Amino acid sequence: MRLLRARANWEVANPAHEEEVTPSHMGVGASSGQFTSEELEEYEAVTCLAGSEVIDLHGKFVALGGVKASAGEGADDAETGGVPSSAKKVPLSAMLETEELKNNPFGRRLCEVFSTEPAFSPTWGDLAFDEFVDMYSCLSPRATKEVKMQTAFRMYDFDNNGYLTTEDLEWLLKTLSTPPPKKGKERSCLFKPEEINDIVERVMRDCDVDGNHRLSYAEFSKVLSRIPGFCTKFSIPIS
């Protein structure tokens, strides 16, 4: 099971304690037949999701054409891209038709961030079940602020170099200011190029503390932490 990113974030934000907690999947019933009790407990340990939510996500995953790896077969190999023989990923095209993402300007980018497929390959954005769960966990209303800020940073880092460059900010503004396509009309950015440049320069001037013309995660999170309602807005419910 590869939920290492969510596991690390969750363990840092929720240090171990001795209070005994009854797993929330207890009593779920026959609908949990795709999971062993141990599997659900592990999902609950490394995400902020309840066992019942994991089961709901599995139903959604299957409806989108995905197949979860059989118990004991292991999870995706992030280094080789190998997938257990019984598993099947949900294609990006299907993800972008879901209610949560079809009108989200960052729907494609979100899937790319959580996908272990090679960047810029035809399958980039396809999601295995653990990646699917990881995405919903990081965007859950119960996810910590730190997890959400890390996810936002990775989503806006379009060139995947670990920083937000002027090019990343330009892409961000273009994505936000380009309305969804309408039948018979071409998509058009609401900002002029010079307006985008002015905004990017202002952001860098205000946020680039060390003056290297790019934003680190520390600089980005300091700004983001001051935005009211960020955690509420940066969420996707399990529907």
Return per-residue pLDDT of the chain as tens, 239 residues: 544 444 444 344 444 443 333 455 544 443 446 899 999 999 999 999 999 999 999 999 999 999 998 765 554 444 444 566 668 999 999 999 999 999 899 999 999 999 999 999 999 999 999 999 999 999 999 999 999 999 999 999 999 999 999 999 999 999 989 887 777 677 788 899 999 999 999 999 999 999 999 999 999 999 888 888 999 999 998 87
Task: Tell me the CATH number at 154.
Answer: 1.10.238.10
What residues contact 19, with CB distance under 8 A and at least 6 apart? none
90 and 151 belong to one structural domain: no
Domain end point (choices 122, 138, 154): 138
Task: From residue 142, give the alpha-carbon distance in Å to each of 51, 53, 138, 169, 238.
Answer: 14, 12, 9, 28, 12
Domain end point (choices 80, 114, 138): 138
59 and 126 belong to one structural domain: yes
126 and 19 belong to one structural domain: yes
- Name the DSSP letter for residue 164: E
164 and 105 belong to one structural domain: no
Q: Which domain holds residue 202?
A: 145-233
Domain end point (choices 92, 118, 138): 138
38 and 101 belong to one structural domain: yes
Is 48:186 a contact under the CB 8 Å cutoff?
A: no
Is 75:66 a contact under the CB 8 Å cutoff?
A: no
Within a domain: 238: no
The C-alpha atoms of residue 55 and residue 61 are separated, in whole angstroms, by 10
100 and 180 belong to one structural domain: no
Within a domain: 161: yes
Closest CA to 152 of 223, 95, 57, 212: 223
Element (H, E) at 215: strand 214-215
- Name the DSSP letter for residue 165: E
160 and 223 belong to one structural domain: yes
Domain count within the chain? 2
- The phi, psi pair for 165, rounded to 5°, reads -90, 175
73 and 8 belong to one structural domain: yes
149 and 167 belong to one structural domain: yes
132 and 166 belong to one structural domain: no
